[in-house]
Chains A and B, each alone.
Chain A
Amino acid sequence: MTGRGTARLGRLAKARWLLPLVGVIVLFLIFTSLVPERFTSSRNLQLIFRQSVVLMIAGLGMSFVMSQGSIDISQGSMLVLCESVAAAVVAATGASGAALLPVIIPTCLLVGMACGLFNGLFVARVRIPSFAVTIATMMIFRNMAVAILNKRCVVVPISHIGSFTTMLAGFALVFLLATYLFDYHSLGKYSKAIGSNETAAGASGVPVLRTKMWAFVLSGLCVGIAAPFHIARLGLCSPKAGSFFEFDVITALVIGGTPLTGGSSSRVYSVIIGGLIVGMLSNGLTLLGVDPVIKDLVKGAILIAAVALSLERGKLVTIK
């Protein structure tokens, strides 16, 4: 490879973690100057975090999938399915008050893992590209959820876990676990290897099938962990929940510096930076009284810019 090419790769790698970090700081400064007290009030800052936490937890799971060069478009539907099954179980068992959490949490986790397993089976064993599988499951899971909820919303009062401290603790736990698996254990390294060169990874003794399955199971599991927090924030389970959620997750990951094509420059913490950028953007623009349509436009523009800057143009972009 020419010296020029490798220098560019080096610059690219630096840009990937530097730019998002700079982005967070710049954005913070911009909004602080535009809407001084309201933006930087502790209540508002906590709000930004609480609004992003569901996204970030799900994104931690998605990091494994994306570092392999795959994609999981069914996360939003998994979210609503977890919630709908939880609501159904609550109704069936007649649980209330203190008994709600012990019913909801395991249900969400199990449903999340089951969905992830389903995705993983079709991607890893049957070997259908993840894009195709998860678009299909996106529709399947959501329709299952709508059917279960009978197209109605169910009120589930567990908003006490929606407090800042609880969410922070929950997030920190998941983050620590994800970081361990990603940076200090085989799962993350094997995933990055698969994203870099699946053939070479297989030829180096990487258990490709198992790694792919685990990534999708984790993606589902993280959605299952995020679901109770989501229910707490909304106060209810709605069949419309999580629409386009997966795209928000992917946006946050890409803006945070995860390459769409996966590979060794994927980082697990990019979801935090990306989530904060998206969160601050939404929050700040709302405080400024900007039309929600404009807000989405801005998000889309930043996503395109982030992808354009981070794409390794020499490499074939095949999203598996």
Chain B
Amino acid sequence: MEGHEMHRDREPAIETHGVSKTYGLIEAVKEVSISVAPGEVRGLVGENGAGKSTLLKMLCGITQADSGSMRKDGKPHAPHSMVQAYASGLSIILQEVGVIPSLSVAANMYLGRTNEFVRAGVILKRRLHAQVERLLRDFGVSHIDPRMPLGRLSAEDQKFIEVIRALAFTPDVLLVDETSAALPADGCELLFERIARMKADGTAVLFVSHRLREVLQVSDTVSVLRDGALVTTIASDETDPGGLRSLMVGRNLSDHYYRSDQTASCSDSVALSVNDLRLEGSLHGVTFEVHAGEIVGVGGLTGCGMHPLGKAIFGLAKRDSGTVKVHRGDRAIHTKGPVSATRCGIGYVPRDRNAEGLMLTSSIRGNICLPSHKQLLRQGRGAILKRHERGLSRKGMEQLDIKASSIEQLVIALSGGNRQKVALAKWLAREELFVLVLDCPTRGIDVGVKAYIYELMERLKQRGLAIVLISEELPELIGMSDRVLIMKEGRIAREFSRSDGLHEQQLIEAMI
């Protein structure tokens, strides 16, 4: 990127020298030395557990390095709290929610910085609100009332406020941690536009994201972390998402990251038919069929209804009208709620696996065996015996290569990728599984495990399973589906076939 050469001559805006951090037995960060010049946008990528968040936390004072040193503008930088970091001109947008829902928007914006509005110990609310209103207008979000409790805003608007908070105080160094995943399309636009503006002003930006294409677009250079250590720093125009992935994982991923074929294929028999599905507020008449051995992708903008569709098919959301039928042989079975859906052979992996898909405080065995009681009772002749449970769980662990110490380990101790494998294993353990509805199955999961899940999906497709893939990731939809259904305002707007060649531009046009 132009100006990259220029960066090397100036004093780095922020740099680390051999910083390390160990949590118990885990070396989260191992002697990482990076330096970012003023006006440089540095992308930071790596799998979960690679150390990105820990590095950012050390930079902004949430935690302190065990060894090594940091410098900002040539001066020692060792903040002991975020407030200290803020004061030195460093701002961060966190991955987790960094706002307080019960306080007003204005209070959140000026958290810890209300001194300028204080007279004789009292915060002058009117002045604070006026200032915040000005800021919001400046950022183009004048529809938000500064006095409103922040908890009432949508999750996306809340993230917006966090973004504005970080940007409004014109830091010299901006750290962005996985924020783009939490923002809607136009929110991301705002963020990137601002980053470009700040870059021109000489701010250094450190940008962490799982979305590799996005990182390459926004950043000048990208640093790759793996297992806590810095692998390399490379210019964005010298690599591509595949190259980054290989660096992140440490081995050459096969060319066939998604699927190995380019044509749509499926059997003639229909496995699932959805007819005129209606759900108040989200679905206004959805009709489609899925054949055995077919992967049907479903995508769209936020609020198009794709997530409620998954819930409605499985019966978690009680539909107002319409039918969902599973076809076996020549019989079509209507399903009503999750119990009948399970019995008919539908499995569902929800988007929010921690809150809805797994019992975190139960063991792997407890989670995997849960939908399979009928077959276990049959096996044990009226009793669910431990040895049968163990057999079923071990099979699931092997089938999905779940990395855990034993089937008795609590799911909460597993990494995100392994947790998702448990969520999948529990459906695959069922003898009678004909349809699998997956909602964002690879969200927040490492590249290595993602590749595994895609491989698994292709194997299941070849075995004859019908798969509904609801996803917010266009590359995933394009890479994996035989057909893609684009939803808009609760209806299917357009259908695309894999054989015709799927392009992101086409899909986006259909979504808007």
Contacts and interface: CB of A to CB of B under 8 A. Distances in A.
A180 B377 CA distance: 12
Contacts of A2: 23-24
* Interface range on chain B (Cβ under 8 Å from partner): 35 or more
Interface string B301-327: 000000000000010100000000000
B361 A264 contact: yes
Contacts of B341: 205
B366 interface: yes
Contacts of A264: 359, 361-363, 366
Contacts of B130: none
B362 A202 contact: no
A199 B341 CA distance: 16
A6 B412 contact: yes
Nearest to A265: B361
Given A184-B385, A205-B338, A6 B410 contact: yes
Interface string A181-218: 00011100110110011011111111100000000000
A43 interface: no
A186 B377 contact: yes
Contacts of A206: 339, 370
A313 interface: no
Given A193-B359, A203-B357, A1 B338 contact: no
Nearest to A264: B362
A94 interface: no
Contacts of B426: 204
A3 interface: yes
Nearest to B409: A6
Given A185-B377, A199-B355, A205-B339, A1 B362 contact: no
A202 B23 contact: no
Interface stretch (B140-148, B236-244, B342-350): B342-350
A4 interface: yes
B359 A200 contact: yes
B231 interface: no
Given A186-B377, A203-B338, A204-B371, A4 B24 contact: yes
Nearest to A196: B359
A11 interface: no
Contacts of A201: 359, 370
Q: Which of B359, B360, B369, B377 has the most CB of A within 10 A?
A: B359
B96 interface: no
Given A205-B338, A205-B342, A200 B358 contact: yes
Interface of A: 1-6, 9-10, 180, 184-186, 189-190, 192-193, 196-197, 199-207, 263-265, 312, 315
Given A2-B23, A203-B357, A263-B362, 19 more contacts: A1-B413, A3-B23, A3-B24, A3-B26, A9-B412, A184-B380, A184-B385, A189-B369, A192-B362, A193-B370, A197-B359, A197-B361, A199-B355, A200-B355, A200-B356, A203-B314, A263-B359, A263-B361, A264-B362
14 contacts: A1-B413, A3-B26, A6-B413, A9-B412, A190-B373, A193-B366, A197-B355, A197-B356, A197-B361, A203-B338, A203-B357, A204-B370, A205-B371, A312-B361
Interface of B: 23-26, 314, 316, 338-339, 341-343, 348, 350, 355-363, 366-367, 369-371, 373, 377, 380, 383-385, 410, 412-413, 426
